[in-house]
Amino acid sequence: MSNPVVWFEIYVQDMDRAKTFYESMLSVSLEKLENPGLDMEMEMWSFPVDMEAAGAAGALIKIKDMPTGVNSVLVYFACEDCAVEAEKAAAAGGKIEKPKTSIGQYGHIALISDTEGNMVGLHSRS
């Protein structure tokens, strides 16, 4: 498996403050992303991404009532079908937190908790 991490999210409480911090620290401009159809109120600003280059893309995410700090970064792993890996996670002692869900043109995600209680995202194009 090459480059298994495909996406990350950094949850924030104050989007303006966080956006200013990351743009200043990294000398980049973040780009506003539209909510991909998930049934939650959220604001997303993407770090610059080159789909042809190595490395993971990611965004700052503000979700109403979502806690931040203390490990509030969510890593997504690439999968052929995230429902399959979610079931494997459950079989290995983890828990499916959010089953396979469409995120529109970006494919599908599932969220699982590992045996230590860490949440991990799974992403597949189909």
Mean pLDDT of 88-95: 93
| Contacts of residue 113, Cβ cutoff 8 Å, sequence gap at least 6 | 94, 95, 97, 119, 120
Instruction: State whether 6 and 39 are in the same domain.
Output: yes
**Structure confidence by residue, pLDDT tens digits, 38-50:** 777 889 999 998 8
Q: For 21-39, what is each residue's pLDDT tens digit? A: 999 888 899 999 987 777 7
**pLDDT at res. 116:** 83
Residues 17 and 46 in one domain: yes
Q: What is the mean pLDDT of the chain?
A: 88
Give the CATH number, domain containing residue 6: 3.10.180.10
Residue 74 lies in a domain: no
- Domain identity same for 45 and 12: yes
Please state the pTM of the whole predicted model: 0.74
**Residue 21 is part of which domain span?**
1-68
Residues 31 and 63 occupy one common structural domain: yes
Residue 6 lies in a domain: yes
Same domain, 94 and 41: no
- Asked if 56 and 78 count as a contact pair (C-beta separation under 8 A), the reply is no
